[in-house]
Amino acid sequence: MATAIYPGSFDPITLGHVDIITRASHLFERIIMAVAQNANKQALIPLSQRVTLAKKCVGHLSNVEVESFDGLTVDFAKQHSARVIIRGLRAVSDFEYEFMMSQMNKNLDPEMETLFMMAGLEFQFLSSSMVKEVADLGGNISGVVPPVVYEYLTKHPVRPKAKG
Ligand code: ADP
């Protein structure tokens, strides 16, 4: 149980993700937050920026590293000698997809375990896509994302305003 990975798109990282990784950092010697390139999911924020933002948000956790990856999660885990994949689980909405994914990862690598951590109560209804939608409509998202993400989304609007 020395090393675990916490994969996701983190487009952008929210306080729900920070809560999971903070709690997980107390359980493992080393955690690698793995930011997915995810070619079939159109990301709003470029990969390098998602990594930079994540690094700023977890920089205070001494046993957490942030890296980007492309390809299979189980391959990334193996390359880093990790046998545990951490995933956050929100009430109802995440279960079916996460269950399928963990079974598939088990098929790909029988030694890999997926560890689910329940989202904190106050983050149950928080998602990156909701953050983007609210930011796009001009809503204040400062209560649900770390300050650096709030600042980034203020400077880089979800839908750039048309010129002229
Ligand atoms: P993906 O694109 O792989 O679903 P996300 O970046 O959306 O990745 O999420 C990464 C992980 O964090 C997933 O396990 C997801 O269920 C979990 N997660 C997302 N939002 C929250 C939240 N508000 N609280 C706890 N976990 C969350």
Q: What is the pLDDT of residue 160?
A: 60
3-state secondary structure of 118: strand
The burial of 130, by beta-carbon neighbours within 10 Å (0-12 exposed, 13-18 middle, 19 or more buried), is given as middle
pLDDT tens for the chain, 164 residues: list them. 699 999 999 999 999 999 999 999 999 999 999 999 977 778 999 999 999 999 999 999 999 999 999 999 999 999 999 999 999 999 888 999 999 999 999 999 999 999 999 999 999 999 999 999 999 999 999 999 999 999 999 998 777 655 55
Q: Which two tokens stand for residue 142?
A: 């400062």
Give the closest residue (by CA) to ligand 1 atom 4. 8
Residue with tokens 């948000």: 57
Question: Can you tell me which residue has the tokens 């952008």?
Answer: 12
Give the residue, out of 32, 90, 105, with the most ligand 1 atoms within 8 A of its beta carbon, to mutate for a pocket test.
90
- 89-125 in b/e burial notation, b at 16+ Cβ within 10 A? bbeeebeeebeebbeebeeebeebbbebbebbeebee
Q: What per-residue confidence (pLDDT) applies to 164?
A: 53
Ligand 1-lining residues (CB < 6 angstroms): 8-10, 14, 16-17, 20, 87-88, 90, 94, 119, 123, 126-128
What is the pTM (predicted TM-score) of this model? 0.94
